[in-house]
Amino acid sequence: MSALRVVVVGASGRMGRMLVRAVTESRGATLLGATERPGSEFIGRDAGELAGVETLAVRLVDHVSDCPEADVLIDFTAPSATLKHAEFVAERGMAMVIGTTGFDAGQLQQLRDTLSGSAVVMAANYSVGVNLALSLIERAARVLGDDYDAEIFEAHHKHKVDAPSGTALAMGKSLAAGRGVVLEDVAVLSREGITGARKAGAIGFSVVRGGNIVGEHKAMFIADEERIEINHIASDRMVFARGAVRAAGWLSNQPCGWYDMHDVLGLNS
């Protein structure tokens, strides 16, 4: 069986370098192309050298159209860039693994329309542990109901630009699904001033940004007599990169469709 041919976009960033490294460490994948935004000082540099692995003879280019044809594109960039990369994927008949967060409703619909004929995995978090936690949160919410107050806590490094994180929102959606409600109808994303007593059924969010925190997420179910917490702490971004490469390998054997990490890990069965 031939190796999975991969393009990584945003390959000079923190996650991009991790993705390049994860591809090179995978026995079933090979890096064919790597990109960075136009004007970047890293254009022309070897992707492997930037990632701290061996020279790969794959140099960063500033347009994805300059990359050779591949099987899958992995994208952890920004919504506007991801939308452009999706057009390339659709035109080339490739698959796409998307880790970008922060899409608004219109952008997400545009993304789905563009990739309607493609095989796609899109997830807020590619950690196996986080996705297991999402399943546990939904199950706990179903059992506990809204007799327990629910809070989602998350913390990330100071450079993260969106809040709450995509993973925190995914936790909130899992919790809401377990209760049989829509997150947008019950979410409390901020508190300031005299807010009054907590409303029954609300799902609250708390956000921390600072230092080099890779990622911490916690779902809390709080009653007068007890508190249940489902907690995940990431200590290295490679956990996300390896999960994305695992998703890419799984996707190569799937028909066109829109999947998430629960599908990749068999948690939906």
Rounded to a whole number of angstroms, the distance between the first and last alpha carbons of the chain is: 27
Output the CA angle 158-159-161, nearest 5 degrees. 110
72 phi-psi bin (left φ>0, alpha ψ -120 to 50, beta other): beta
> Quick check: 35 and 10 in contact, CB under 8 A?
yes
Give dist(CA 211, CA 30) in Å, integer. Answer: 33
Catalytic-labelled residue, pool 63, 84, 85, 156:
156
> Quick check: 140 and 228 in contact, CB under 8 A?
yes
Give dist(CA 43, CA 139) in Å, integer. Answer: 47
Distances in whole angstroms, Cα of residue 110 to Cα of each of 55, 80, 87, 107, 115: 37, 11, 10, 5, 9
DSSP 53: S
Active site residue 160: yes
Q: Which helix (H) or strand (E) holds 242?
A: helix 238-251
Active site residue 63: no
Catalytic-labelled residue, pool 63, 85, 158, 160:
160
Q: Which residues are catalytic?
A: 156, 160
